[in-house]
Structure 1
Amino acid sequence: MTFPEITTAGSDADQGQRGDILMLCHRIPYPPDKGDKIRSYNFLMHLLHSGWRVHLGALVDEPGDLEHAKVLQRLCASVKLVSVSPLLKKIIGVTGVFRGRAMSVEYFRNTSLQKWVDERCKALQLHAVLCVCAPMAEYVFRNARLSQAESFADRSEDRMPLLLMDFMDVDSEKWRDYAASSTFPMSNVYGLEAWLLRRYEQKIAERFHHVLLVSDEEATLFRERVSVKGHVSGLSNGVDLETFAAMPPVRNRRMFFCGAMDYLPNIDAVEWFVQSVFPRIRKEIPDAEFVIVGSKPSSRVRQLGDVEGVTVTGKVPDVRPYAREAALCVVPLRIARGLQNKVLEAMAMGRAVVATPEAVTGIAGKATRDFVVARADAGAFADAALTLLRNPGHAEAIAEHGRRLVEDKYRWAACLKQLDILLQQQSADSPVVSPVHSLPAGEIGNNDA
């Protein structure tokens, strides 16, 4: 599967007209094959299309992703990609706890990338620094110039760049959820990480000019948990409506779930569904099927493939055929933060969605009209799925409303207007954007977390 043609400013990387932006990502934003990468990829493309010169620094924890370096080098004014070993970084992250530092922050810290950041800050008059994910703030805090002020709440120094943080989710709350759903000793480990991250989020809130979260609900939660001195707002994810185009209805007994299958909330979701919900559905509809689509299935997920009627695909080059061949998308998340791309994409493809309340938080739709919400109770969730499987006309009506919702409210261009407003605070006289050219084709994977 290839990306549709996507345009970006200029005929080469150095033709941006509006100034320089340093963008720091905890994962390489190309290809957009995972929830956080989809968001950072669309941020990047929007900035380029708007005429900014983007200097991109990112970590790479999937060796295959490095093959896309040339694409980013052609699009951006400068690029620094650093390969990291996930196992080694996890060890380093754990050791950081003994120094009172969050594992997540230590995991994404890299001296080579820090050196590059310092060089960019010295050589350029940056308009803004955009950090994607809380741990990337460390590169700001460790830069001599950017960290010189007592507080970044005001920009008294004319040359101080605008500091923007895209948290996406309230990450400390996710670890708090992990702690609540785990047993000793991991409950203590997760609880400590939640506390350390909360403290770090507070530091960011005090030092950055503006912080973004993936929904208004998540932004409200952040304000409740952290004493905020700067500005906080929600900036929703969008959907590529051409790539995830509406599909013809299909009337069968197949359900699917799509996500990164080494991610704890997804593992918990499909395990609970197969063990507690699916047997109730099969009792009523013996030929019902459940397909788990996603890369890196853990051993727990792979074992679910031994259950009759359950298929575990592993990584696939294109998730859309699995949606095309299923009547229903189920999203039984019991642990969830932010806004779920998997829900928006399923609705965009014209598939009815049955989800827990946690899975649809932040989506501006109406339950029973745009999607079906069932609490994380085996009987309730099974009943909701059975109702739609037995009444395909009703499922198709919900699917049609769901598609209309994403068309009306979740186009990326509309969602990213908030980013334009923030950047224009110091660039009201920006010149007209240059002509456009297209992004090369690449694969769309299935790692949406």
Structure 2
Amino acid sequence: MKLLILLSRVPWPVEKGDKLRAFHQVRCLSELHEIHLFALTNRKNTHIAKEKLSKYCKSITIVRISIVTKIWYVFLALLTGKPLQNGLFYSRKAKKRLATLVEQVQPDHLYCQLIRVADLAKTLSIPCTIDYQDAMSTNMLRRKKASPLLMKPVMDMEYRRLVNYEQKVYHQFDHHTIISLPDKNLMPCRLKDSIHLIPNGVDYTYFSPMEGPKEVDIVFTGNMGYPPNIDACEFLIQEIIPLVKQRIEGVNVMLAGANPHPRVQRLASPTVEVTGWVDDIRDCYARSRVFVAPMRIGTGLQNKLLEAMAMQIPCITTPLANSALGGTHGENILVGETAQEIADQLVMLLSHKEKATAMGRAGHQFVRQHFSWEESSKQLSRIMSSTTQQKP
């Protein structure tokens, strides 16, 4: 079928979780359907992204939204009670371009990623599916607790608006998807039982075990401008690592990922490397002895855990992150909540090479068995095709 995919961001490069999910869904769905991609951006130069995506798409439409336009529609969202993020990803020009594309292409189905673009698709009379991805309202509530005092009223307002909008937008779409069962259970929709689980996967041709010297003791990766990752970095360096150093001298840490926030940059020291953007994140995993994801806020499945486990790196995380992953503590992953618990687990893995190696192998087998972009995309395709087949 002709599948129109609507995204709030151009899915290349894949330095953010929503872009990573979108890219691999485009890649895999292109094997089954004719893909027409419509994405928003604030960047002027997108030719590299278009070149990368063109092998999977019949057509690519990218609409740039200027900063002035964003400010205007955020202001309108503020007045109308909609989530502010809806204003960030809306413009009248984009809505008209999308309507024109639908007229020209006559797609059989529309797939929207994230509720922030739902307003663009509101008046289109074609079968459609929304990917909630995460329980966004709960994500905002958890971020509020760790945000600066002056930001708490704004975060609280956005949380309440997201709760209302997640319920309201449900009826606009024929099908609804989300990444994990914990996120599904957190959704405020009365009909949430009908939301389909479409988990993320791993590109195993790219993320696979690599041989090489282990120069880094502990690594944490991610978009370092994202609030849950900022909080995790501070928790790791300020609370966990001092406990580790009481028992193991000279421990070094790598915080690897794009857009490091000033709070993350301030954590850099002779034993803490803040890399910023890296061309190949696999090198960071391969050089490291242990991966830790000390997540205290946020929602959704942590792609960083899937990648590290796919590369056979022993992993430690929190109950919050493992609730979506579904790993088994002590078998294929270690799970700790307090700084002391995580520090103890780091010391154990750093001190016992055989146990660390066994944990890495078990984690690798676990993700290979449960997380596949190809399989989850086939499941998504079946969901969307069922609606298309029911239409006259």
Q: TM-score of the superposition, structure 1-length normalised?
A: 0.82
Q: Give the gaps of 5 or more residues in structure 1.
A: 1-18, 147-159, 430-449
- Which piece of structure 1 moves more, 341-350 or 329-338? 329-338
1:119 maps to which of 100, 110, 121: 100
Give 1:95 deviation, angstroms. 5.4
- Tell me which residue corresponds to 2:190: 227
Q: Would you say 1:269 and 2:232 are equivalent positions?
A: yes
8 Å Cα contact 1:209-1:230 kept in structure 2: no
- Tell me which residue corresponds to 2:116: 135
In the alignment, the residues of structure 2 paired with residue 168 and residue 229 of structure 1 have an alpha-carbon distance, to the nearest angstrom, of: 13
Q: Would you say 1:24 and 2:29 are equivalent positions?
A: no
Give 1:121 deviation, angstroms. 2.6
Change (3 A) 1:33 1:262: closer
In the alignment, the residues of structure 2 paired with residue 355 and residue 179 of structure 1 have an alpha-carbon distance, to the nearest angstrom, of: 21
SS in 2 for 1:59: strand
8 Å Cα contact 1:249-1:396 kept in structure 2: no
SS in 2 for 1:361: helix
- Tell me which residue corresponds to 1:198: 163
1:54 maps to which of 35, 51, 54: 35
Q: Would you say 1:36 and 2:18 are equivalent positions?
A: yes
Alignment of 1:322-333 (within 5 A): 322-333=284-295
In the alignment, the residues of structure 2 paired with residue 74 and residue 112 of structure 1 have an alpha-carbon distance, to the nearest angstrom, of: 27
2:330 maps to which of 333, 357, 368: 368
- Tell me which residue corresponds to 2:134: 169
In the alignment, the residues of structure 2 paired with residue 238 and residue 373 of structure 1 have an alpha-carbon distance, to the nearest angstrom, of: 21
Alignment of 1:348-359 (within 5 A): 348-359=310-321
Higher relative contact order (CA 8 A, sep 6+): 1
Superposed CA deviations along residues 69-110 of structure 1, whole A, max 9, x for unmatched, are 244345423221122346863674255213322111000002
8 Å Cα contact 2:69-2:91 kept in structure 1: no
In the alignment, the residues of structure 1 paired with residue 262 and residue 385 of structure 2 have an alpha-carbon distance, to the nearest angstrom, of: 48
Give 1:416 deviation, angstroms. 1.9
* Structure with greater proportional helix content: 2
In the alignment, the residues of structure 1 paired with residue 143 and residue 257 of structure 2 have an alpha-carbon distance, to the nearest angstrom, of: 21
- Tell me which residue corresponds to 1:288: 251
Give 1:27 deviation, angstroms. 0.7
2:349 maps to which of 388, 402, 405: 388
Superposed CA deviations along residues 228-261 of structure 1, whole A, max 9, x for unmatched, are 2883111100000110012348666610011111
2:371 maps to which of 407, 410, 419: 410
SS in 2 for 1:416: helix
- Aligned CA RMSD, in angstroms, stands at 2.2
In the alignment, the residues of structure 2 paired with residue 229 and residue 349 of structure 1 have an alpha-carbon distance, to the nearest angstrom, of: 35
Superposed CA deviations along residues 277-297 of structure 1, whole A, max 9, x for unmatched, are 111111211111110001111
In the alignment, the residues of structure 2 paired with residue 130 and residue 62 of structure 1 have an alpha-carbon distance, to the nearest angstrom, of: 23
Alignment of 1:50-199 (within 5 A): 50=32, 52-63=33-44, 65-73=46-54, 75-85=56-66, 89=70, 92-93=73-74, 96-141=77-122, 143=123, 146=124, 160-199=125-164
8 Å Cα contact 1:57-1:113 kept in structure 2: no
In the alignment, the residues of structure 2 paired with residue 278 and residue 95 of structure 1 have an alpha-carbon distance, to the nearest angstrom, of: 45
Superposed CA deviations along residues 390-441 of structure 1, whole A, max 9, x for unmatched, are 1111111111000001111112112223212212315669xxxxxxxxxxxx
SS in 1 for 2:288: coil
In the alignment, the residues of structure 2 paired with residue 181 and residue 354 of structure 1 have an alpha-carbon distance, to the nearest angstrom, of: 22
Q: Would you say 1:213 and 2:175 are equivalent positions?
A: no
In the alignment, the residues of structure 2 paired with residue 192 and residue 416 of structure 1 have an alpha-carbon distance, to the nearest angstrom, of: 35
Give 1:170 deviation, angstroms. 1.1
Aligned positions, number: 390
2:300 maps to which of 338, 341, 349: 338
SS in 1 for 2:190: coil
In the alignment, the residues of structure 2 paired with residue 183 and residue 304 of structure 1 have an alpha-carbon distance, to the nearest angstrom, of: 18
Q: Give the gaps of 5 or more residues in structure 2.
A: none
State the one-letter code of the partner of 1:122.
E
In the alignment, the residues of structure 2 paired with residue 313 and residue 280 of structure 1 have an alpha-carbon distance, to the nearest angstrom, of: 23
Change (3 A) 1:363 1:124: same
Change (3 A) 1:252 1:73: closer
SS in 1 for 2:30: helix
SS in 2 for 1:98: helix
In the alignment, the residues of structure 2 paired with residue 72 and residue 322 of structure 1 have an alpha-carbon distance, to the nearest angstrom, of: 26
Superposed CA deviations along residues 102-140 of structure 1, whole A, max 9, x for unmatched, are 111000002222111111233343211100111111111
Change (3 A) 1:423 1:299: same
8 Å Cα contact 2:15-2:223 kept in structure 1: no
- Tell me which residue corresponds to 1:439: none
In the alignment, the residues of structure 2 paired with residue 361 and residue 63 of structure 1 have an alpha-carbon distance, to the nearest angstrom, of: 39
Q: TM-score of the superposition, structure 2-length normalised?
A: 0.93
In the alignment, the residues of structure 2 paired with residue 251 and residue 292 of structure 1 have an alpha-carbon distance, to the nearest angstrom, of: 15
State the one-letter code of the partner of 1:278.
I
